[in-house]
Amino acid sequence: MALLLVLGATAVPFFLHDIELARTTFPYIFSAGALLLLLARLFTPYRGKDPQLKRLHRIESWSAIIFCVAAFFLFYNPYQLRDWLSFTLAGAVIQIITSIAIPLRESKLAGKK
């Protein structure tokens, strides 16, 4: 849910930039998604024993922190979206890498048992 809020709010400046309501509310929607994602990652830590999976989940938590930094830049300088977009892309890259690496590692561990 939180990532969908972040994704939807990220699309607004590119596709709905001529609608005033969308322009004024997308920073709040993005921030809510980033905050929900951060809370979800903080309150659902990895409790397994595999150190590589623990590291991957920790890296995945950093993507939520990076999205929160991007939300800060939406309010710090709302007319220049370069910083916000840079942090959003960095968080997305980390999210994509970990969303591929975590299931691969879990399937590898399941195959060993």
pTM of the model: 0.92
The predicted structure's pLDDT at residue 40: 95
The predicted structure's pLDDT at residue 113: 65
Extents of the domains making up the chain: 2-112
The predicted structure's pLDDT at residue 77: 86
Phi, psi of 30 (to 5 degrees): -60, -45
Question: Whose CA is closest to 95, among 66, 74, 69?
Answer: 66
The pLDDT averaged over each successive group of 10 residues in the chain (113 residues) is 93 89 92 97 92 95 96 90 94 97 94 77
